[in-house]
Amino acid sequence: MPVAVYVLGLSVFALGTSEFMLSGLLQPLARDMDVSIPQAGLLVSAFAIGMVVGAPLLAAATLRLPRRTTLIALLAVFGLGQVAGALAPSYGVLFASRVVSALACAGFWAVGAAVAVSLVPVTARAKAMAVMLGGLSIANIAGVPAGALLGQHAGWRSAFWAVAALSAVGLAGVVALVPATQPPTGEDAPRLRKELAIYRDRQVWLALATTALNAAAVFCLFSYLAPLLTETAGLKESWVPTVLALFGVGALIGTAIGGRIADAHLFGTMYGGIGASAAALALLALTAHSAAAAIAMAVLLGVAAFATSPALNARMFNVAGAAPTLAGATTTAAFNIGNTVGPWLGGLVIGAGWGYPAVAWLAAGLATLAVGTTAVASRLHRGAEASRIVAASAGASSTAHETAPESSVR
C-alpha cells in the first residue's frame, strides 16, 4: 500500500476525532452552554449537514485543481475551525464553527478518497478505503475517549484545542508525503457534466440510500450512547471514555475484517455487517438496563458498522467509476445524510419522553431498511451480470454462425 494512503489515514484520524468526540462531551458541553442534551446533540447533526453540503460542492469546485493543493487548503481550514470552536463564546458560534469545519472535512474526504483509490489497482480499492477508515477507527479508540477525558478534567474546549494540534500534524504529513499531481488536460480533463451523469444510474442511488440508512442507524444510537450508559445502564460518567474506547477497538477490528473480505465478497460483507448492526441494536434495546450487556452490544456495533464501511465505499466507486471525485463526494454525503438524520430522529424520540432504549429500537429499524436496499441492489446487480453474459453468448454464437460457411468452403 502506498505511503500516501497511510498519510491520508493519519489525517482522517484528526477529522474523525473532531466528528465523533462530541458523543463523549455532550453532558459537560450542555451544562457549560446551558442547553439540553438533544440541543447539544444537534451539534453532531450540524457537522453532518456541513459534510452533506460540502462534499459535492467542494468536489465540483475543486475538480480541476491539483488534488494535493486542495487537500492542504482543506486541512488548514479545518484546523482553524477547531480553533474557532475552542474559543466559541456561545452555542450559536460553536454551531457555526462545526458547520465550517465540516465543509472542509467533507472536501478532504471526497478528494482524499479519490486520491487513495487512484494510487491502487481496482482490486485493492476496499483495502485502500480500509486504511483511510482505519484512521477513523483509531479516532474512536484513542481520539474520542481522550476527548471525553479532556472534557471531564480540563473542560470540553481542551478537546477542540487537541484536535487543532492533530490537524497541524496531518497537514505536515500531506505536505511532505502525498505526491503532487496536476489535473488531466485536454480530452482527459475532468468535466462536471460528465461526472454528474453518474446520477442517472439507479445503482448509484441505491448505494447512496444504503450508506445513508446504515449511517443513520449507527449514529442515531452512538450520538446518545454516553447518556444511555449513565442514565439507563447505570454506569458512572467516568466509565464513558472506556466504553467509547471499546467501541473504537470494535471499529478497528471491523475495519480490518471488512478491508480483507470486501473486495472478494462485496454484497456478502454488506449483508453481514448491516444485519449484525441491526441485531446488535435490537439486543441493546432489550438489554439497555444491564451495564455489561450495553457495553457488549456497543462493541459489537462498532465491529459490525465498520466492517461494512469499506464495502459501502468500494460499492460506490464501482458503480460510479467514471466519476471518481463525485463518487467519493457522494459516499461522504451519503454517510453524513445518515449522520444528520440519525441524531435528529434520536433527539425526537428522547424529546418525546420514550427513553434511550427506544432510540436503539429506532436505529435497529433503520438498519433493517438498509438490508432491504442492499437486497434490491444485489438483485439488480445479478440481473445486469446475467444480461451481459447472455449478450456475450449471443454475440459469440452469431459470430460462429457467420464464419461457419466460410470455414466449410476452405
pLDDT at position 6 over 70: yes
> Which band of pLDDT confidence, cut at 50, 70 and 90, is reported for residue 5?
confident
Q: Is the pLDDT of residue 408 over 80?
A: no
Confirm whether 224 is domain-assigned. Answer: yes
Residue 405 lies in a domain: no
Distance CA 360, CA 282 (A): 6
Give the closest residue to 181 by CA, choosing from 118, 91, 245, 258: 118
* Of 171 and 199, more confident: 171
Q: Is the pLDDT of residue 65 over 80?
A: no
Res. 389 pLDDT band, cuts 50 70 90: very low
pLDDT band at 410 (very low <50, low <70, confident <90, very high): very low
pLDDT band at 189 (very low <50, low <70, confident <90, very high): low
Q: Is the pLDDT of residue 70 over 50?
A: yes
**Whole-number percent of the chain with pLDDT over 90:** 21
Mean pLDDT of 184-190: 56
Query: How far apart, in whole angstroms, are the C-alpha atoms of residue 149 and residue 242?
Result: 9
pLDDT of 216 strictly over 90: yes
Percent of the chain with pLDDT over 70: 87
- Per-residue cell: 261: 473480505
409 pLDDT band (50/70/90 cuts)? Answer: very low
Give the CATH number of the domain where residue 208 resides: 1.20.1250.20
pLDDT-derived band at 403, boundaries 50, 70, 90: very low
Q: Band the pLDDT of 79: cuts 50, 70, 90.
A: very high
Whether pLDDT at 81 is above 50: yes
Q: Could you read off the pLDDT of 296-335 as tens digits, one per residue?
A: 999 999 899 888 888 887 788 777 765 666 777 777 788 8
Examine residue 120 and state whether it is found in any structural domain, yes or no: yes
Q: Which range scores top for mean pLDDT: 18-22, 138-142, 223-227, 285-289?
A: 285-289
* pLDDT for the residue numbered 132: 77
Instruction: Supply the mean pLDDT for the chain.
Output: 81
The backbone region for 178, taken as left when phi is positive above 0, alpha when psi lies in -120 to 50, beta otherwise, is: beta
Q: Supply the pLDDT for residue 386.
A: 53
pTM summary value? 0.69
The domain tally of the chain equals 1
* pLDDT beyond 90 at 279: yes
Residue 276 lies in a domain: yes
Say yes or no to pLDDT of 398 above 60: no
pLDDT digits (tens, 9 = 90+) for 123-173: 776 777 778 777 776 776 777 778 878 877 788 888 889 889 989 988 988
| Owning domain of residue 165 | 3-180+191-398
Q: Which tens digit of pLDDT belongs to each residue from 335-381?
A: 878 877 888 899 899 988 898 999 999 999 999 999 999 999 888 88
pLDDT reported for residue 362: 95
Higher pLDDT, 267 or 184: 267
pLDDT for 246 beyond 80: yes
**Residue 280 pLDDT > 50, yes or no?**
yes
pLDDT of residue 191: 65
C-alpha radius of gyration, the chain, whole number: 22
Residues 196-200, mean pLDDT to the nearest whole number = 76
Task: Match 446518545 to its residue by C-alpha cell.
Answer: 224
